[in-house]
Structure 1
Amino acid sequence: MTTTEAPTVITAIIGREFHYARTSAELEAVLDLLLVDGESQVFQWDRPCRQSKDGAINEFPADRLRLTCRDGWGALNYMSPGAHGDLVDSLGAEEAPPVLPFDEEGDLWFPRSASLPLAEVREAVAEFCRTGLRPTCVRWQPGHWY
């Protein structure tokens, strides 16, 4: 019996725009966009995520990686509402990093301890895109339902 793996599609929502990556070249381009200052969400699934303006279509997997990048720093929030209800924020080692917004419009902020240098954020996002699981290359702390 032969099994075939479903292709993986990365959906990145940057601002309010959807970007998709199916190839390694497309993934590198999306990673570059994600690390520009702003708030984003990333999903790994067997198809593109999609949403209609009227709310009739709302197709996303349960697991999500959210990130904010600003001025050479980033913070991550991983959510997997499955059996273990994983909800965590990144945990940085720097002593005085900046505080980054989780959702600037909603005036919600990551804890200061969540801030990481951008190189670590890129590595974690790339790992999530490969595995669809919480990245192991960074440390984590309990997150919040913002």
Structure 2
Amino acid sequence: MSNPEPVESGPLEPPAVVFARLADVPLDALDKLLETTHAVYDDLNRVLGHPYWADLVYHQGAAIKALKEARVSLEGLRAEAIGARNTELGITVTTAVVDGERHYAQTEDDKAALVDRVLRPQQPGACHLYVWDRPHVDPEAPGPYVQMRIVTDTEAEVGVLNFTEESEDGEMQSWHTLNPQPLPEAPALRFDAGSTLRFPRNAVLPFRDLRAALDEFTRTGQRPEAVRWQPARWGDL
């Protein structure tokens, strides 16, 4: 018996191309299927009491549950594929949470605009920046291991950065900025609106230093070297 002919696999595709194709999952079609399956319930109510009614309701409910689980899995597949593609291409995405809304940027100009936005929020309270291989869309889902908290006094054009990093084992480390020459009139900024925690006064820096650190963070995703840091501590110090 002769050996089978070898199968020619053809030229290998770049991984980024494969990941981009994996990210193109049919979420719209699944949403339409969910909508249609939900709509079946109206028809089921019209045959209430029929001998088959209970089994039909059971299977309709099971189908909706399975479709919802499938959607969660497909969303996870798409998110991981986007992250893998961006990593292959050397792309990072900056996510800013400002005034309760999320904003995303990939280009240098858009990232710089996000930095300006977090320095000058419209409402009191902390803003946050994340740098990841994809947009950080869902705060309840596993996300990036680092976070930058920004608290500013927009009138005085000063503020504080708090950098938090989580290890794969779940251990948290946190640092505040450190001003080696504390500002004479530095405010004791709150950790967040309504919080009793206050940053030490020697953590307060002018906007020019904060902007330099945040610009660096959006490029590297690491604790910036443009400013000095101190282990996180609290109090009017």
TM-score, normalised with respect to structure 2: 0.54
One-letter code of the match for 2:165?
S
What is the identity, as a one-letter code, of the residue corresponding to 1:47?
R
Larger radius of gyration: 2
Structure 2 counterpart of 1:88: 175
- Superposition deviation, residue 107 in structure 1: 2.6
1:51 to 113, 119, 138: 138
> What amino acid is aligned across from residue 21 of structure 1 in structure 2?
A
Kindly provide the amino acid, as one letter, of the partner of residue 73 in structure 1.
V
**Structure number with higher relative contact order (C-alpha < 8 Å, ≥ 6 residues apart):** 1
Output the amino acid matched with 1:121. L
**Aligned residue number for residue 42 of structure 1:** 129
Identity rate of aligned residues, in percent?
34
Q: Is the 8 A contact 1:66 1:78 kept in 2?
A: yes
Cα offset for 1:32? 1.3
Equivalence for 2:149: 66
Q: How many residues align?
A: 142
Q: After the TM superposition, which segments of 4 or more aligned residues of structure 1 sit over 4 Å from their partners?
A: none
Is residue 2:115 matched to residue 1:31? yes
Cα distance, 1:58 vs structure 2 = 2.6
> 1:67, 1:102 within 8 Å by CA — same for their partners in 2?
no
Cα distance 1:13–1:124, how it changes in 2: closer, same or farther (>3 A)?
A: same
Q: Please, what is the CA RMSD of the aligned residues?
A: 2.4
Deviations 1:7-41 (A, max 9, x none): 21000101211010111121121111111154211
Unmatched segments (≥5 aa) in structure 1: none
Q: CA deviation at 1:59?
A: 4.2
Q: 1:121 aligns with which of 194, 210, 213?
A: 210
2: CA distance between counterparts of 1:62 and 1:95? 31
In structure 2, runs of 5+ residues without a counterpart are 1-11, 16-87
- C-alpha deviations, 1:99-121, integer Å up to 9, x for none? 11111222321111110001100
